[in-house]
């Protein structure tokens, strides 16, 4: 697993709140830093894929732990 610079617990937040919290965190991050987001919102996967595609960030990893999702995003 990659070095984590910032972690966000977005459990029990409906979509698109996990992505909104991630975008706010990414704004304050330096290029190359890694954000870890934990959520139980399954729509977050497609939201984060679209966000990274649109903004150019790298979605490094998606882990599904029986309905608890961990997403690692590297800011470019």
CA of residue 52 relative to chain centroid, distance: 9
**Rounded to two decimals, what is the model's pTM?**
0.94
Largest CA distance in the chain: 32
The pLDDT value recorded for residue 59 is 97
| pLDDT level of residue 1 (50, 70, 90 thresholds) | low
Summarised one tens digit per residue, pLDDT across range 19-68 is 999 999 999 999 999 999 999 999 999 999 999 999 999 999 999 999 99
Integer Cα distance of 21 and 44 in angstroms:
12
What domains, with CATH codes, occur in the chain?
6-74 (3.30.110.40)
How far, in Å, are 1, 11, 17, 52 from residue 68 at the CA level?
A: 17, 8, 15, 20
Record the tokens describing residue 37, joined without a space: 């987001």
Using DSSP, state whether 48 is helix, strand or coil: helix
């Amino acid at each position: 697993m990659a070095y984590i610079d910032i972690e966000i617990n977005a459990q029990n937040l409906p979509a698109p709140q996990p992505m909104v919290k991630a975008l706010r965190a990414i704004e304050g991050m330096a290029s190359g830093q890694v954000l870890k987001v934990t959520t139980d919102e399954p729509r977050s996967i497609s939201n984060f894929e679209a966000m990274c595609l649109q903004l150019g960030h790298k979605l490094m990893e998606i882990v599904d732990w029986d309905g608890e999702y961990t997403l690692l995003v590297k800011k470019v």
